[in-house]
Amino acid sequence: MLVLEPTHALVLFSGGQDSTACLAWALSRFARVETIGFDYGQRHRVELTQRLILLDALRGQFPQWADKLGDDHVLDLPVLGQISDTSLTRQTEIALAETGLPTTFVPGRNLIFLTFAAALAYRRGLGVLVGGMCETDFSGYPDCRRATLDAVEQSLSLGMDAPFQVSTPLMYLTKAQTWALAHQLGGQGLVDLTVEHSHTCYHGDRTHRHDWGYGCGTCPACDLRAAGWAAWQAEQAQS
């Protein structure tokens, strides 16, 4: 089997709150960390701009991580947007579909992302794939569940004959706990950076500023982020 370096990681970095926390988590644990993003025709593609701002800010504000933070990669996957009839790839209403899932669910997205990430990691000798998938405070996406990711991890390792690890540090954390993790890893500086520069809003809204960051304030992504912020602030006030 190909020897992949288990101390080198590739972080699926969208530029959102969760992936920012995951990147900080990886930088605190691995000797070298690279990042990957995907342009798939998402309506909130402002995240592609914000992720570069975040990477520059992390390098500037956290010198202990700067030397570990390696190359960034962006893959162009327009075909995913072309075959997906969802509220993230079309200008349609965000609602619940007949399946019980929100119309923001992009079928196969994380499966595709992890497969392409693994192909890149294989070439660069990176043994760990880090993603912000979570099955605690989430929208019910089946490709965010740990059982799905365990199957993907096994398939990638078998299909490439290389021992990949798919790591999901937020899997069992609430959004409040994710804010707390950011504070634990990088103090108030990382929290402020996440508030100001990360992007979660499905509508791509960077005009409305809230205590928890920018967004429309009404889409499911904003609701989860705002509720997590409020819960974490309440916990902070009591401690």
What is the structure's pLDDT at 95?
67
DSSP string, 136-179: SSS---GGGSHHHHHHHHHHHHHHHTS--EEE-TTTT--HHHHH
pLDDT band for position 104 (cuts 50, 70, 90)? confident
Residue 111 above 80 pLDDT? Answer: yes
What is the structure's pLDDT at 164?
96
Token pair recorded at residue 134 = 């979570």
Q: Which of 73, 213, 84, 88 is nearest to 139 (CA)?
A: 88
The larger pLDDT score, comparing residue 127 to residue 85, is at: 127
- pTM of the entire predicted model: 0.93
Average pLDDT over residues 203-222: 95
What is the structure's pLDDT at 105?
76
What residue type is assigned to position 108 of the chain? G
Span 51-84, pLDDT tens digits: 999 999 999 999 999 999 999 999 998 888 787 7
Mean pLDDT, all residues of the chain = 92
pLDDT band for position 41 (cuts 50, 70, 90)? confident
Residue 103 above 80 pLDDT? Answer: no
Average pLDDT over residues 158-185: 96
pLDDT band for position 1 (cuts 50, 70, 90)? low
Tell me how far apart the alpha carbons of residues 239 and 232 are, in angstroms, rounded to a whole number. 11
